[in-house]
Amino acid sequence: MKLFSFLFTSSIGRKVLMAVTGLSLVAFLLVHCGINACIFFNDSGKTFNAAAEFMAHNWLIRTAEVGLFGGLLIHIIQGLSLSLSNQTKRKEKYRASAGDANSKWYSRSMGILGSLLLIFLVMHLKHFWVVSRFTDAIQETKGSTLFDEMIIVFTDPLPVIIYVIGCLSLAYHLLHGFQSAFQSLGINHPVYTPIIKSVGNAFSLIVPLVFAAMPIAMHLGWIK
Amino acid sequence: MSKLMKLHLKVWRQKNTESAGNFEDYKVDASPDMSFLEMFDVLNEQLIETGKEPVAFDHDCREGICGMCSMVIDGRPHGPKQGVTTCQLHMRSFNDGDTITVEPWRANGFPVIKDLTVNRSAFDRIIASGGFISTNAGNAVDANSILVPKEIADEAFEAATCIGCGACVSACKNASAMLFVGAKVTQLSMLPQGKPERQSRVVAMVNQMDAEGFGACTNTGACAAECPKQIPLSVIATLNREYISAKMNGK
């Protein structure tokens, strides 16, 4: 255990853990986004429900889900504690500051962006994950599916607005986090780093955009 | 001689480490050809002539290589120019009638001694913890007895240009010292003379860095953007890599 204690104690080790858990969440986002995008087939959720059904009953996916929640929890707790500890390193603040002259605002706001995401996430899990796993609201025998649940949730404009704000926070969180994770793991290379940055920028734009399109499209009745 | 510029200064004055500081307003007429520190010399002469306490600030070589000057000018360490120390910043980078705010480096690891002078001995303790090579003293060895490939020598030299001024800490929102430690670790671990101790060195230096009260890295890049020697952000990746590899080897 001593071998891995640095991941929770040293400044670099803690960042390594943020990077590893962050990248695993990036991988999850890709799968999540891909499966949910099945609603855009506009076949009354037939393809989407089949994919959701597979994800819910495949034992490999269910095992990975445990790992996902573990990683997510570590990312949240470590992120919050790092963010709070970093804020104490300059007790006397600058009276004049020019942060925009040397860095991007979102790179300096990962704690706030992450916290916004956390608020969104609690609501999001309550909407779909809790309902599908722990209640019997969604049962094929009753003729109600996860797709139907989406339609119900996104009829109300309030969740739509919150989901879009959540996606915007996600975009900026990823815009810094994706490439930053590689730097934290010690990967900075004259050839690969520009590629990583481009892939990261594209990912941060496309994935949140596709996610945001789902509640909007459902609310406006484009998808039935 | 060029026309004098009329400047308004807001300078941080602090009696000692314990006391609370505050801004004092001053008016200075400065030549655009003066360096920022020469402008401060003019200010201090004015203060002495009127029987006031001159502003304490650090300086030594005044040619950008000693790393002593340390002023945060309008919120930016070493002022608005890139790749320049405060001593090499000229007043022509400002406009006639400007109000300029001058503060000390601010970080828990760099306590203020007086006014704009801070205690940077935390950097010395980090170096003492591992930023050296161990070698047997004796006759000087032949210059080419240890061969170093040119590209390795160049990269190590780029990292070695760090003057240890602390602008990286000062610019970082977390007051992190990783660019400084990264530069030293990169320089030493790349060269054959530094390789034998590379693993124990990086762990010792990072432990000392954490103990001195510097923050962790958020990869905002502010340090590299403000570094007067333009040390690249890649040295922090090298530091991370060296540290992870040392830890994986049970160091």
Q: How far is A118 from chain B (nearest CA, A)?
A: 19
Buried b (16+ CB within 10 A) or exposed e, B174-188: bbbbbbbbbbbbbbb
Closest CA to A114 of A76, A168, A161: A76
Mean per-residue pLDDT of chain A = 92
pLDDT tens digits for B85-98? Answer: 999 999 999 999 99
**Distance from C-alpha of B93 to C-alpha of B30, rounded to nearest angstrom:** 12
Question: What is the percent of chain A with per-residue pLDDT over 90, rounded to a whole number?
Answer: 75
Tell me the mean pLDDT in the region A121-141.
80
Instruction: Show Cβ contacts of residue A102 under 8 Å, excluding neighbours closer than 6 positions.
Output: B76, B171, B220, B221, B222, B225, B226
Partners of B76 in the β-ladder? B73
pLDDT tens digits for A174-207? Answer: 999 999 999 999 999 999 999 999 999 999 999 9
Q: Is the predicted pLDDT of residue A1 greater than 60, yes or no?
A: no
Q: What is the CATH number of domain B5-103?
A: 3.10.20.30
Question: What is the percent of chain A with per-residue pLDDT over 70, rounded to a whole number?
Answer: 96
Counted across chains A and B, CB pairs separated by less than 8 A come out at 137
Dig out the tokens for B241 from the structure.
Answer: 């890599």
B214 shares contact with chain A (CB less than 8 Å): yes
CB contact at 8 A, B237 and B167? no
Residue A140 banded pLDDT, cuts 50, 70, 90: low
Of A6, A89, A96, the CB nearest to B247: A6
Q: How far is A18 from chain B (nearest CA, A)?
A: 10
Mean per-residue pLDDT of chain B = 95
Tell me the mean pLDDT in the region A52-65.
90
Cβ separation A11–B176 shorter than 8 A: yes
Res B198: pLDDT:
95
Tell me the mean pLDDT in the region B123-148.
90
Cβ separation B240–A14 shorter than 8 A: no
Tell me the mean pLDDT in the region A148-161.
91
Res A44: pLDDT:
85
A188 shares contact with chain B (CB less than 8 Å): yes
Cβ separation B171–A10 shorter than 8 A: no
Cβ separation B247–A13 shorter than 8 A: yes
Cβ separation A188–B238 shorter than 8 A: yes
> H helices of B102-192, where?
121-130, 150-160, 167-171, 178-190
Q: What is the CATH number of domain A2-86+104-219?
A: 1.20.1300
Q: Is the predicted pLDDT of residue A208 greater than 90, yes or no?
A: yes
Res A133: pLDDT:
77
Domains of chain B, residue spans: 5-103, 120-134+147-248
Q: SS in 3 state form for A71-111?
A: HHHHHHHHHHHHHHHHHCCCCCCCCCCCHHHCCCHHHHCHH
CB contact at 8 A, B232 and B158? yes
Res B208: pLDDT:
98
Q: Is the predicted pLDDT of residue A143 greater than 70, yes or no?
A: no
Tell me the mean pLDDT in the region B76-83.
96
CB contact at 8 A, B187 and B130? no
Of B109, B213, B243, the CB nearest to A12: B243
- Strand B72-73: give its sheet, edge to edge: B22-30, B5-13, B99-103, B72-73, B76-77
Res A141: pLDDT:
61
Res B140: pLDDT:
82
- Long-range Cβ pairs for the range A52-55 (8 Å, 24+): A52/A132, A52/A145, A52/A146, A52/A147
pLDDT tens digits for B138-167? Answer: 888 888 888 999 999 999 999 999 999 999
Of B174, B225, B250, the CB nearest to A89: B174
Q: What is the CATH number of domain B120-134+147-248?
A: 1.10.1060.10
- Select the more confidently predicted residue: A58 or A2: A58
**Distance from C-alpha of A30 to C-alpha of A22, rounded to nearest angstrom:** 13
Name chain B contacts of A11, Cβ cutoff 8 Å: 176, 178, 206, 209-210, 214-217
Q: What count of residues does chain A have?
A: 224
Range with the lowest mean pLDDT among A43-57, A152-166, B31-45, B172-186?
A43-57
Domains of chain A, residue spans: 2-86+104-219
B239 shares contact with chain A (CB less than 8 Å): yes
B234 shares contact with chain A (CB less than 8 Å): yes
Q: How far is A186 from chain B (nearest CA, A)?
A: 4
Q: How far is A10 from chain B (nearest CA, A)?
A: 7
Query: Given this chain, do its domains B5-103 and B120-134+147-248 carry the same CATH topology?
Result: no
Tell me the mean pLDDT in the region B78-91.
96
Using DSSP's 3-state secondary structure scheme, residue B117 falls into strand
Element (H, E) at A63: helix A59-87
Residue A3 banded pLDDT, cuts 50, 70, 90: confident
CB contact at 8 A, B237 and A187? yes
Cβ separation A101–B215 shorter than 8 A: no
Instruction: Give the strand pairing for B5-13 and B99-103.
Output: parallel
* ipTM field: 0.90
Name chain A contacts of B112, Cβ cutoff 8 Å: 92
Q: Is the predicted pLDDT of residue A149 greater than 90, yes or no?
A: no
